[in-house]
């Protein structure tokens, strides 16, 4: 009999302290998959990316930077200073003035984010008031459930589209693990601010496997990725004894590669560089 996996990093229901900031970076390839497959379905017109996008829970910029690969203008903010974007509480009534006009235009065309799960419904409601074209959130599949959420959000404002990722999107608290895995399923919920009159139902599309095709060789450096070591690795017991996390930081890998003057060509190369340091 196999013991159940109770790791809070992979369970569909995360158990976290009440004051947790719920920072789980989105892998860059997952945001690119949204742009490649969901955006054309929800906005089929040729100007879909010639507008602005804003991430109000940007963390360290993992989603915002990937959106910038597509949209003409991208900005971000977060309630906590992660070193990227502005510092502002999206749920605050004066959220926009808190940004001091550092993002233009004043009303972003799209608000696209991976919100704190416990505040996701509130984020959607506020985003629909503050965006000109639409809102997209990446949340756990369980977000579509719940009587209170239905009465508050789905009954008055059903989404126009849900994008189901056929491939699991690994998210780890506080870091992007390039070789991560997860038992949690995620999907995109998309609302149009002013949906066409003939779009009175919610469509569902499936996002094909994208991790391998939409991951770029420089992502691990650009987005500060790290690699989890397998439990059987010779360095794991040593790190456990020292109370360290089973991952090698991107700073250590960057330093090592600067000395070797080599550049990775794939995720496999990245992992080999990381393990070589051990």
CA 39 to chain centre: 16
- pLDDT for the residue numbered 224: 81
Burial readout 166-196 (b: 16 or more C-beta within 10 A, e: otherwise): ebbbbbbeebbbbbbebebebbbbbbbbebe
Same domain? 193 vs 240: no
Q: Which of 187, 122, 185, 117 is nearest to 157 (CA)?
A: 122
Question: DSSP E strands: which ranges in 121-268?
Answer: 134-140, 161-165, 176-177, 186-192, 203-207, 225-228, 247-248
* Cα separations in angstroms, 144 against 127, 164, 204: 18, 12, 12
- pLDDT for the residue numbered 178: 83
| Residue 35 falls inside a structural domain | yes
Same domain? 71 vs 95: yes
- Out of 211, 244, 263, a domain closes at 211
pLDDT in 10s for each residue of the chain, 278 residues: 444 444 433 334 433 444 446 789 999 999 999 999 999 999 999 999 999 999 999 999 999 999 999 999 999 999 999 999 889 999 998 877 566 556 665 679 999 999 998 999 999 999 999 999 999 999 999 999 999 999 999 999 999 999 999 999 999 888 888 888 888 999 999 999 988 867 778 999 999 999 999 999 888 888 888 776 666 666 556 666 766 554 555 555 555 555 544 454 566 666 666 666 55
- Cα separation, 33 vs 163, in Å, equals 10
**Domain extent at residue 258:** 219-276
Largest Cα–Cα distance of the chain, in whole Å? 62
Same domain? 262 vs 195: no
Same domain? 119 vs 153: yes
φ, ψ (nearest 5 deg) of residue 24: -125, 95
- Out of 191, 211, 231, a domain closes at 211
φ, ψ (nearest 5 deg) of residue 129: -85, -20
- pLDDT for the residue numbered 97: 56
Same domain? 181 vs 234: no
Two tokens, residue 105: 């235009």
- pLDDT for the residue numbered 162: 97
Same domain? 183 vs 253: no
- Out of 184, 211, 238, a domain closes at 211
The SS3 assignment for 124 reads helix
**CATH code for position 160:** 3.40.50.150
| Residue 128 falls inside a structural domain | yes
Same domain? 85 vs 205: yes
| Residue 4 falls inside a structural domain | no
- pLDDT for the residue numbered 226: 78
Same domain? 32 vs 108: yes
Same domain? 50 vs 175: yes
Same domain? 231 vs 113: no
Domain count, the chain: 2
- pLDDT for the residue numbered 99: 61
Q: Which of 6, 12, 23, 30 is nearest to 145 (CA)?
A: 12
Same domain? 116 vs 253: no
Q: Following DSSP, what letter does each residue of 231-271 receive, concatenated?
A: TTSTTHHHHHHTT--SEE-HHHHHHHHHHHT----SHHHHH
Same domain? 89 vs 227: no
Two tokens, residue 78: 């977060």
- pLDDT for the residue numbered 77: 93
| Residue 38 falls inside a structural domain | yes
* Cα separations in angstroms, 75 against 111, 172, 253: 10, 23, 28
| Residue 112 falls inside a structural domain | yes
- pLDDT for the residue numbered 21: 65
């Amino acid at each position: 009999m196999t013991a159940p996996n109770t790791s809070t990093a992979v369970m569909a229901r995360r158990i976290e302290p009440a004051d947790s900031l719920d920072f789980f970076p989105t892998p860059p390839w997952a945001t690119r998959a949204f742009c490649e497959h969901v955006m054309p379905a929800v906005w089929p017109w040729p100007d879909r990316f010639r507008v602005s996008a804003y991430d109000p829970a940007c963390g360290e910029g993992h989603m915002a930077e990937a959106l910038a690969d597509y949209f003409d203008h991208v900005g971000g903010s977060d309630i906590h200073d992660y070193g990227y974007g502005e510092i502002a509480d999206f749920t605050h009534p004066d959220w926009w003035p808190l940004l001091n006009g550092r993002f233009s235009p004043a009303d972003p065309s799209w608000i696209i984010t991976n919100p704190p799960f416990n505040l996701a419904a509130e984020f959607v409601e506020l985003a629909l008031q503050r965006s000109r074209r639409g809102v997209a959130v990446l949340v756990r599949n369980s977000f579509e459930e719940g009587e209170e959420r239905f009465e508050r959000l789905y009954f008055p404002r059903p989404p126009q589209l849900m994008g189901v990722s056929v491939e699991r999107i690994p998210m780890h608290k506080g870091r992007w693990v390039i070789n991560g895995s997860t038992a949690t399923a995620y999907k995109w919920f998309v609302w149009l601010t002013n949906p066409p009159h003939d779009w009175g139902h919610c469509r569902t599309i499936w996002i094909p496997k994208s991790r391998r095709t939409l991951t770029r060789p420089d992502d691990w450096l650009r987005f500060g990725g790290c690699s989890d070591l397998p439990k059987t690795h010779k360095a794991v017991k040593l790190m456990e004894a020292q109370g360290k996390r089973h991952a090698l930081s991107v700073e250590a890998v960057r330093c090592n590669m600067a000395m070797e003057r080599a550049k990775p060509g794939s995720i496999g190369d990245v992992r080999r560089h990381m393990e070589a340091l051990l």
